Amino acid sequence: MSKQSQWKTSTGFILASAGSAIGLGAMWKFPYMAGIYGGGAFLLMFLIFTIFIGLPLLIMEFTIGKLGRTYTTAIFGKLSNKKWTNVIGWSGNLAVFVLFGFYSVVGGWIMIYIAQVAMQIIGLRDGTLGSIQFEQVISSPLYTMLGQGSFILVTMVIVMLGVEHGLEKASKVMMPLLFIFLLLIVVRSLSLEGASEGVRFLLEPRMEELSMEGILFALGQSFFALSLGTTGMITYASYAPKEMTIKTSALSIVIMNIIVALLAGLAIFPAINAFGYKPEEGPGLLFKVLPHVFEKMSFGPGFYFIFLILFLFAALTSSISLLELNVSNFTKNDNRKRGKVALIGSILVFIISIPATLSFSTLSHVHFLAGTIFDNMDFLVSNILMPLGALATTLFVGQLLKKEDLKSVFGNDRLKIFMPWYYLVKYVLPVVILLVFVIQFFN
């Protein structure tokens, strides 16, 4: 059996984990969810859930990964000596499989936009950036499936290259560039006439506009944005070097995630107000607004093309972690099987996600429960499988693992936070997550 994969540096681990967390969760999903559920009020609840629930859970997943150091469908049984607990790992495996399915749909949209803008730049397509109609793009079954297939293909190639040469190297390039260009867009968006109203919408918490549904979705967004409850972060931590500090790594990732979400909001909402869009436009918000922002810039098409590439990077850093979890579980640390498993997994994801891809075209008439097939896949992962996975993991850590074992990988505890964290995971968080499930059921 070949040696288990490992990050070369702690920085590579943090950037890759941050990329997994940030991705479409912060840049694509947060702005439109905030637009639907009250702007500043949604942001406030998201921040509260991320800091007081998301951060402790992220530390918990990192602790399990560093303590167990194996694939997630075996790590729970290894740590507890109870094989039945591996069902938590298999549940996470299912969650990321479904998540990658609808995630790749959005990745496909990005690929289509990249192709459209590239054709404009080289003169093969007439019109302006604003003339690219989002509804027209997603209503083409052929284009959306080609785009999705291309996105899955790129993800597969990077995962095939392995942890150090694929995941780590890609993240070290993608993440810094993403921050730089996002800042550029924020500066331009804030300079637009009427931008202040958009800033006020994002930052002013109008609690009277926040519904119970909005609170539940804010919690779901905090799980989605940090990739919690899927055991993906456990996988990444199992590759971590021994010198990695769990608390510092988790806090760095949470801070980066919050910053990118805020920057995405500041890029979008001022522009929404400036161009007369409604905040509750939904999943297409980012694709409808940003072309108009770049259209106002000098060399706008070129800058928009670069941004789309970086937006693709953000999506890939997350999709890579989703495919990597399945690869890790099915290769069982034997890297000789990595290529074959990545190929088979990618083909299966493409097949199961076809209904989600067609949710805006051929199957647009199919609506049930949360809405379209795409909406239901999103709801299933964000509001059911992720919180359920987090609940099971907190019960596992709090009730089955020894406190001394957990403390042994916690690192230097000068601030004396281990005990508060331990009791939070053992007694408080399971009750909070369970309560949310009950409220969601009756709601």
For residue 422, what is the enclosing H or E element?
helix 418-423
Q: Which residue has the higher pLDDT, 40 or 169?
A: 40
Question: What's residue 382's pLDDT?
Answer: 78
On average, the pLDDT of the chain sits at 82
Q: What is the DSSP secondary structure assignment for residue 334, as one 8-state letter?
A: -
Q: Is the pLDDT of residue 167 over 70?
A: no
SS3 374: helix
| 73-77, 119-123, 198-202: segment of lowest average pLDDT | 119-123
Q: Which residue has the higher pLDDT, 19 or 197?
A: 197
Q: How many CB atoms lie within 10 A of CB 408?
A: 12
Question: What's residue 396's pLDDT?
Answer: 94
Q: Is the pLDDT of residue 438 over 80?
A: no
Alpha-carbon distance of 127 to 120, in angstroms, equals: 7
Question: Chain-centre distance of CA 74, in angstroms?
Answer: 24
Per-residue pLDDT reduced to its tens digit, 314-353: 788 778 878 877 887 788 767 778 888 889 989 999 998 8
Q: How many CB atoms lie within 10 A of CB 67?
A: 21
Where would I find the H helices in 276-299?
285-295
Q: Which residue has the higher pLDDT, 427 or 17?
A: 427
Question: What's residue 14's pLDDT?
Answer: 62
Question: What's residue 121's pLDDT?
Answer: 84
Q: Provide DSSP, 279-347.
A: TT--TTHHHHHHHHHHHTSTTHHHHHHHHHHHHHHHHHHHHHHHHHHHHHHHHTT-GGGHHHHHHHHHH
Question: What's residue 395's pLDDT?
Answer: 94
Amino acid at site 202: L
**pTM across the whole model:** 0.82
Q: Is the pLDDT of residue 129 over 80?
A: no
Amino acid at site 192: L
Alpha-carbon distance of 174 to 179, in angstroms, equals: 9
CA distances 188 to 263, 300, 315, 351, Å, are 12, 11, 23, 40
Look-up of token digits 């949604």: 42
Q: How many CB atoms lie within 10 A of CB 127?
A: 11
| 10-19, 35-44, 68-77, 193-202: segment of lowest average pLDDT | 10-19
**In this structure, what token pair is assigned to residue 353?**
């996600």
Question: What's residue 87's pLDDT?
Answer: 93
Question: What's residue 132's pLDDT?
Answer: 76
- Percent of the chain topping pLDDT 90: 18
Per-residue pLDDT reduced to its tens digit, 363-413: 988 998 888 998 898 888 877 888 888 899 999 999 999 888 888 887 676
Question: What's residue 217's pLDDT?
Answer: 83
pLDDT band at 2 (very low <50, low <70, confident <90, very high): very low
pLDDT band at 96 (very low <50, low <70, confident <90, very high): confident
Question: What's residue 97's pLDDT?
Answer: 86
Q: Which residue has the higher pLDDT, 207 or 225?
A: 207
Alpha-carbon distance of 19 to 352, in angstroms, equals: 25
CA angle 13, 221, 175 (to 5 degrees): 30
Cβ neighbours of residue 20 closer than 8 Å, sequence gap 6 or more = 227, 232, 233, 236, 317, 318, 320, 321
Question: What's residue 182's pLDDT?
Answer: 82
Per-residue pLDDT reduced to its tens digit, 233-262: 887 777 777 767 778 788 888 888 888 889
Q: Is the pLDDT of residue 162 over 70?
A: no
Question: What's residue 306's pLDDT?
Answer: 80
Amino acid at site 178: L
pLDDT band at 9 (very low <50, low <70, confident <90, very high): low
Alpha-carbon distance of 3 to 303, in angstroms, equals: 43
Q: Which residue has the higher pLDDT, 130 or 309?
A: 309
Q: What is the mean pLDDT of residues 97-125?
A: 86
CA distances 358 to 109, 316, 337, Å, are 12, 21, 32
Amino acid at site 184: L
Alpha-carbon distance of 350 to 267, in angstroms, equals: 31
Q: Is the pLDDT of residue 4 over 60?
A: no
Alpha-carbon distance of 395 to 389, in angstroms, equals: 10
Question: What's residue 171's pLDDT?
Answer: 63
Q: What is the largest CA-CA distance in the chain?
A: 66
pLDDT band at 437 (very low <50, low <70, confident <90, very high): confident
